[in-house]
Amino acid sequence: MAVNKSERLLNLLILLLAQRHYISKERIRELIEDYRSASDEAFERMFERDKVELRELGVPVETGQADKFFEDEPGYRIRPDDFALPGIELTADEAAVVGLASRVWQHAGLAAHTSDALTKLLAAGVEIDRDRLDMPAPEVAADEPEFDAFWKASLDRVRVAFDYQRSGSSAVTKRLLEPWGVVSYSGRWYVVGHDVDRGAPRMFRLSRVRGSVSRRSKGDAYAVPPGTDLRELTTRLGPGPRTVQATVLIRPGAAAYLRRTGAAQDADVTGPDGTPGWDRFVITSSSIHALADEVLAHGDRVYAEEPAELVNLIVTRLDAASVAAAGGAA
Q: What is the pLDDT, as a whole number, of residue 215?
A: 95
125 falls within a domain: yes
96 falls within a domain: no
Cα torsion 166, 172, 177, 182 to 10°: value is 50
141 falls within a domain: no
228 falls within a domain: yes
Convert the pLDDT of each residue in 124-147 to its tens digit: 555 555 555 544 444 444 457 888
If asked whether residues 82 and 173 sit together in one domain, one would say no
Final residue belonging to a domain, choices 193, 218, 237: 237
Average pLDDT in the chain: 78
Distance CA 100, CA 77 (A): 16
If asked whether residues 176 and 266 sit together in one domain, one would say no
Contact 269, 232 (CB under 8 A): no
Give 198-202's long-range contacts (Cβ < 8 A, gap of 24+).
Answer: 201/233, 201/237, 202/175, 202/177, 202/237
Convert the pLDDT of each residue in 84-112 to its tens digit: 544 434 343 333 334 444 444 444 444 45
Average pLDDT over residues 244-249: 93
99 falls within a domain: no
If asked whether residues 53 and 122 sit together in one domain, one would say yes
Convert the pLDDT of each residue in 156-212 to its tens digit: 999 999 999 887 677 889 999 999 998 877 767 889 999 999 999 999 989 889 999
Average pLDDT over residues 222-227: 90
Q: Which of 276, 277, 269, 275 is nearest to 305 (CA)?
A: 269
If asked whether residues 169 and 192 sit together in one domain, one would say yes
Find all residues with CB under 8 Å of 303, minimum gap 6, and list them.
Answer: 248, 249, 271, 272, 278, 295
Distance CA 291, CA 297 (A): 10
Supply the DSSP string of 258-272, one letter for each residue: HHHHSEEEEEEE--T
Q: Give the lowest-confidence range in 174-183, 223-232, 251-260, 318-327.
A: 318-327
If asked whether residues 311 and 233 sit together in one domain, one would say no
If asked whether residues 122 and 54 sit together in one domain, one would say yes
Average pLDDT over residues 72-80: 80
Final residue belonging to a domain, choices 237, 264, 296: 237
Q: What are the CA-CA distances from residue 73 to residues 12, 24, 52, 69, 164 (Å)? A: 19, 7, 20, 9, 50
If asked whether residues 264 and 193 sit together in one domain, one would say no
Final residue belonging to a domain, choices 187, 210, 237: 237
pLDDT at 238 over 90: no
Counted domains in the chain: 3
If asked whether residues 203 and 227 sit together in one domain, one would say yes
Q: What is the pLDDT, as a whole number, of residue 120?
A: 54
Distance CA 168, CA 122 (A): 51
**CATH of residue 228:** 2.30.30
If asked whether residues 179 and 255 sit together in one domain, one would say no
pLDDT at 2 over 70: no
Supply the DSSP string of 292-322, one letter for each residue: HHHHHHTGGGEEEEE-HHHHHHHHHHHHHHH
138 falls within a domain: no
If asked whether residues 14 and 35 sit together in one domain, one would say yes
Q: Which of 114, 104, 286 is nearest to 206 (CA)?
A: 104
* Bridge-based pairing state of the strands 160-165 and 200-205: unpaired
In whole angstroms, what separates CA 130 from the centre of its chain? Answer: 24
Distance CA 251, CA 229 (A): 38
275 falls within a domain: yes
Distance CA 66, CA 60 (A): 17
Convert the pLDDT of each residue in 271-318 to its tens digit: 999 999 999 999 988 788 878 888 888 889 999 999 999 999 899 888
If asked whether residues 232 and 249 sit together in one domain, one would say no
209 falls within a domain: yes
Q: What is the largest CA-CA distance in the chain?
A: 77
Q: Give the lowest-confidence range in 52-61, 76-85, 133-142, 210-219.
A: 133-142
Domain that holds residue 276: 244-329
85/21: higher pLDDT: 21
E strand residue ranges, the chain: 23-24, 61-67, 70-78, 160-165, 172-185, 188-195, 200-205, 209-215, 244-250, 263-269, 278-285, 302-306
If asked whether residues 128 and 38 sit together in one domain, one would say yes
